[in-house]
């Protein structure tokens, strides 16, 4: 695992992100193909499980950090004092120990969970939380149509796991003028974005310096997680939902969807995209 300023280690080797499985072709020829692995991953804080995700067993330290940030468990990476990645027969636990004040804040927050069927942190006052918006993000960059095309192409070129399996989503961070892109992949689109958020935090990269690029549709949670990491532009190859558009408008986010080369549609805050 790559990590951050705190000690991160695997106690048991986690499974690979892809495995070879037997199959039959349409002509009944037996062979194998690479398929994406997924397994239960538990987010455990100070000994208490807060959420269980189905995720690709890769970049798990990034997932732990990113989930903690985008779901408001911590406000900055320094609040996580220690992390262990512990793989077992039933799945993987991401065990984190928080700074004392952060742990108290999480315990107080969890007291307000609604019923046993609440889905982890989103069970907090669930109707209001589902539509939450934070402060509007600060806009520091503007993109041209050519840069949008470059961002989408760079994301496609970086999807190594999806090229093997054809079964994963990706989230990338495009910085104008930068020759490389930070990309994370996962069977779950939310997980891919959380992994990206964790990777940016671990690398001390500020979300306001670039745009989030997605292979998936843009639901309201994807906008919420993007604003949590401070980015003001989302570019997606698929379409957004109506609530995602309204949330992006309220949050100051330029939402670009159905991006195909230099062709795309702008759904909110068009001033983030230059006309040339």
pLDDT in tens, 254-266: 999 999 989 999 9
- Residues 106, 155, single domain; the answer is no
Average per-residue pLDDT for the chain: 90
Per mean pLDDT, which range of 39-43, 112-116, 124-128, 184-188 is the poorest? 112-116
**Do 97 and 150 fall into the same domain?**
no
**Domain boundary, last residue among 130, 165, 184:** 130
The tens digit of pLDDT for each residue in 33-42 reads 999 999 999 9
- Domain count for the chain: 2
Are 20 and 103 contained in the same domain? yes
Please report which confidence band the pLDDT of residue 123 belongs to, taking 50, 70 and 90 as the band edges. Answer: very low
Q: Within 13 A of 120's CA, how many CA atoms are on the CB side?
A: 16
Same domain membership, residue 185 and residue 98: no
Q: What is the mean pLDDT of the segment spanning 67-80?
A: 96
Same domain? For 151 and 259 the reply is yes
Residue 202 lies in a domain: yes
Residues labelled catalytic: 119
Its domain, for residue 88, covers 8-130
pLDDT of 8 reads: 53
Q: Is residue 136 part of a domain?
A: no
CATH of the domain at 220: 3.40.140.10
Look at residues 41, 56, 45, 46 and name the one whose alpha carbon lies nearest to residue 87: 41
Quickly list H helices, 48-120.
60-70, 100-110
pLDDT for the residue 117 = 36
Give 134's pLDDT tier (boundaries 50, 70, 90). confident
Nearest to 94, CA basis, from 14, 26, 201: 14
For residue 179, is it within any domain?
yes
pLDDT of residue 120: 45
Q: What is the CATH number of the domain that holds 44?
A: 3.10.20.10
| Terminal C-alpha separation, the chain | 42
Scanning 158-188, the segments in alpha helix (DSSP H) are 160-165
Domain for residue 198, yes or no? Answer: yes
């Amino acid at each position: 695992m790559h990590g951050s300023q705190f000690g991160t280690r695997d106690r048991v080797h986690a499974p690979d992100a892809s495995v070879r499985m037997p199959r039959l072709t349409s002509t009944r020829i037996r062979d194998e193909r690479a398929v994406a692995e997924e397994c239960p991953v538990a987010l455990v804080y100070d000994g208490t499980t807060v959420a269980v995700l189905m995720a690709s067993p890769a970049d798990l330290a990034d997932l732990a950090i990113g989930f903690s940030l985008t779901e408001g468990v911590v406000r900055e990476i320094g609040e996580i004092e220690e992390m262990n990645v512990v793989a077992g027969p039933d799945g993987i636990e991401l065990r984190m120990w928080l700074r004392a004040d952060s742990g108290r804040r999480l315990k107080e927050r969890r007291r307000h969970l609604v019923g046993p069927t609440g889905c982890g942190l989103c069970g907090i006052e669930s109707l209001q939380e589902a539509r939450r918006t934070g402060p509007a993000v600060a806009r520091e960059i503007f993109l041209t149509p050519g840069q949008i095309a470059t961002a989408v192409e760079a994301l496609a070129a970086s999807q190594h796991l999806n090229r093997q399996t054809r079964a994963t989503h990706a989230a990338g961070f495009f910085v104008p003028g930068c020759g490389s892109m930070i990309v994370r992949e996962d069977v779950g689109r939310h997980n891919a974005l959380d992994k990206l958020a964790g990777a940016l935090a671990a690398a001390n990269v500020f979300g306001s310096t670039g745009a989030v690029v997605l292979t998936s549709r843009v639901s309201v949670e994807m906008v919420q997680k993007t604003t949590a990491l401070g980015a003001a532009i989302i570019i997606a190859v698929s379409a957004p939902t109506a609530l995602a558009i309204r949330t992006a408008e309220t949050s100051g986010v330029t939402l670009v969807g159905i991006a195909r080369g230099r062709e795309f549609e702008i759904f909110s805050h068009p001033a983030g995209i230059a006309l040339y």
